[in-house]
Amino acid sequence: MISSTVQDLGDDEALRRSTVLERVSEGVVALDRDLRYTYLNEQAEQILDASRGQLMGQHIWDAFPESKGTVAQNTIERALATQEQQSFEQYDSSLDRWFEVRVYPDESGLSLYFADITDRKHSERELTQKNRQLSALIENTAQAVYLKDRAGRYQFVNEAAANLFGLTPKEATGKRAADFFDSESVAQIRRIDEQILTDETADSYEATRLIDGEERVFLENRYPYRDEDGTVVGIMGISREITERKRREKTLEGSRQRLKSLFEDLPDSVVIHDAEGNILDVNDQTVDELGYTRRKLLSMNVADFEVGLSSEELRAIWTTMEVGDRAKKSGRHRHRDGSTFPIEVWVDKTEIGGEERFIALSRDVTEQLRKERKLETLTEEYHALLENADDAIFFVDVEQSDSGPEFRFERLNPYHEAATGLDSESVQGKTPREVLGPDLGAELEANYCRCVEAGEPISYQEELEMPAGARIWQTNLAPVTVDGTVSRIVGIARDVTSQVHREEDLRRKNERLDEFAGIVAHDLRNPLNVAQMRTTLTVEDPSYEELHRKKVHEALDRMEDIISDTLILARRGNEAESLEPVSVTDIAEQCWDMVETDEASLVIDDECTIESDPDRLRHVFENLFRNAVEHSEGDVTVRVGCTGDAVLYVEDDGPGVPPEHRETAFKPGQTSREQGTGFGLSIVKRIAEAHGWTVHLTASSDGGARFEFSEITLLS
């Protein structure tokens, strides 16, 4: 194949182009239509680790049987069958290098170009690892992420994807493409899904979708999703909406002669020039990129379109190179219309026909630089988000050991430092136990372990005692996985202390409203019914008018008592407005005079002074004194005093309260008397709690009731 092509060219052109193919940085291979080797250059010999003598005329799969059944075979045979350009990437373990293989068909067979993309692969991996942890912060940000099973049902939809259709992720889960898209889009999605599931390869394409009557364009990246055993169980997709995307398609001429095809179809611009920069030959890519005709270019100098390097800089490069040397430079080419674009150029100094010549292979890197700038911008945006977010963001490194994962703080954002009193410098490299102590540290590590074991984000609420004080946080943890192992945890914690307290206050208010509604609905109904019935009987039976009137007054008095006690509970039962020194003796004696005590007597065991709200304390004594008198035959002794362990007590020698009723005695509406409201002890308990006291009901030494208020502030 090669020899016949050479015969069709002039000796100078054939020699020149053969030399080019031997000097290019890419491996070049030619196969006939039976997939037998007809040509390979020196670079291809190194990449394939085989000599021309071994491979010429041999079938490709006989030479490399280990490649059968791989993506290499699928791609090469597809290019031969469809006569369309194909490409795939391949790793050479012996060279520890990555290559991009581009396959170009023509009527003679196939041309294969092996381009070394190891640097690009390493760069991509570094950028991927760097951005993986940043992407975890905002759950893939605005990109729509989804996971489908083999039947096409969405098993996972992130918030960005669900928002496209006005749904929540939960509402979108379980649906199919037909629930969201038109029939044409559904057919395309199914076709691509089937291809991915069959070939088990990823796919990337642009798609136009009709959403809410509006055409929107997305860049779709879809991948086979595998379970832990490596079986493909579905499809994972990332969809990014784009406003404009241009793809430049390269159509290769299949009818060119074989040697010219190998030279012309190189994807890079090739310029052959002498030591002065005068151009001797160019390929079609150079013509396309610069916009000049081939005839015009052959009359030009490299300095006529290279504007990134001056003429002096170019000649300095050429004069310092020896035959066999290669140099890589960055430059900028100027198009015929005056526009410029950045390039990377590889310059080889070689001999062609006994003359020293330079072969310059250049590549337009506009798109590459745009992507790099975009990634740099994205990194800066993430950094700005981290530095200015009003949430506490932290990074925890995960180290695997025989005893399980170990966690060490790596970084805290400024809000985290201000809210907790910690700082990145002091916590970096330390475990949670070292920073926050064994108890709280163990609690944090338990949550981190849950995140590692789940392998997915988790959320929970926690109350933490930090150097800056106790706060309640709503915390979200997201694992960062590298090579299947969780290597870091990214945490975002939001201070919800005020919200939780507001919710707790609202809950208590609602409970009190329910309680008061029950009182009005239940406890007022009985005396109201009595008053209504007696009023009716007074009219129907005047002879008992006096008796009915008395019963009506009693019912109304009871209603007044219930309303009075309820208002105390509703308005001030949980308040202690102003605390001040209060003489227990004075308050107790004043309250005794306000209660109908009959033959009862009051004894002050200790004259003491405590810190209290005097108005609220009066309600306590009045209710307890009234309770003691009403539950006895009237001849009862009530004793008041304080003990040295900060306990205030009120006790009597009446009948007391049975042990089985002491737990429920403080509940609203609980009473053992027919005429009692059942709120007296409830008021006592509420007022005690408002002071921060604890009240207990027990038996006195005489068998009566004894109320003890602990945790009081005893002043004297």
- What does the pLDDT look like over 370-419, one tens digit per residue? 888 888 877 677 777 777 778 888 999 999 888 889 999 988 988 888 88
pLDDT at 543: 63
407's tokens: 């966690």
Q: Element (H or E) spanning 485, and its range?
A: strand 485-495
Helix axes 614-630, 584-594, angle to 10 degrees: 50
Q: Which amino acid is at 520?
A: V
Gap between the Cα atoms of 682 and 516, Å rounded? 12
Which residue intervals of 455-596 are DSSP H helices? 497-518, 525-540, 545-572, 584-594
According to DSSP, the residues that pair with 648 across neighbouring strands are 642, 709
Q: How many CA atoms lie within 13 A of 140 on its CB side?
A: 14
Strands 232-241 and 279-282: what pairing?
Answer: unpaired
| Cβ(333)–Cβ(289) below 8 Å | yes
Angstrom distances, CA of residue 291 to CA of 73, 337, 489: 37, 8, 52
The CATH class that applies to domain 2-120 reads alpha beta
Name the 3-class secondary structure at 330. strand
CATH topology of domain 574-710: Heat Shock Protein 90 (3.30.565)
Q: Find all residues with CB under 8 Å of 332, minimum gap 6, and list them.
A: 306, 307, 308, 340, 341, 342, 343
- Residue 710: count of CB within 10 angstroms of its CB: 15
Name the 3-class secondary structure at 180. coil
As a whole number, mean pLDDT of residues 560-577 equals: 57
Superfamily of the domain at 389-495: PAS domain (3.30.450.20)
pLDDT at 563: 65
pLDDT at 140: 53
Report which of residues 211 and 30 the model is more confident about: 30
pLDDT at 279: 92
Q: What are phi and psi of 477, to 5 degrees?
A: -115, 135
Residue 674 above 60 pLDDT?
no
pLDDT at 555: 65
Does CATH place domain 140-241 in 3.30.450.20? yes
679's tokens: 């709120």
As a whole number, mean pLDDT of residues 163-167 equals: 87
pLDDT at 257: 47
Compute the C-alpha angle 179/181/182, nearest 5°.
Answer: 115
Residue 262 above 70 pLDDT?
no
56-98 pLDDT, tens per residue? Answer: 999 999 998 988 888 889 999 999 999 999 999 888 777 788 8
497-537 pLDDT, tens per residue? Answer: 888 778 777 777 766 666 555 555 444 555 666 666 767 76
| Cβ(300)–Cβ(287) below 8 Å | no
Q: What are phi and psi of 585, to 5 degrees?
A: -60, -50
- Residues of the chain with pLDDT > 70, as a percent, come to 81
In terms of Cα–Cα distance, which of 178, 175, 201, 174 is closest to 189? 178
- CATH 3.30.450.20 segments of the chain: 2-120, 140-241, 268-368, 389-495
Name the 3-class secondary structure at 329. strand
Residues in the chain: 716
pLDDT at 305: 92
Strands 392-401 and 355-364: what pairing?
Answer: unpaired
Gap between the Cα atoms of 433 and 508, Å rounded? 36
Does CATH place domain 496-572 in 1.10.287? yes
pTM here is: 0.34
Q: How many CA atoms lie within 13 A of 450 on its CB side?
A: 13
Angstrom distances, CA of residue 237 to CA of 242, 581, 646: 16, 71, 68
CATH number of 268-368: 3.30.450.20
Report which of residues 584 and 257 the model is more confident about: 584
- Residue 327: count of CB within 10 angstroms of its CB: 15
- CATH 1.10.287 segments of the chain: 496-572
Residue 210 above 60 pLDDT?
yes
In terms of Cα–Cα distance, which of 501, 46, 477, 5 is closest to 262? 5
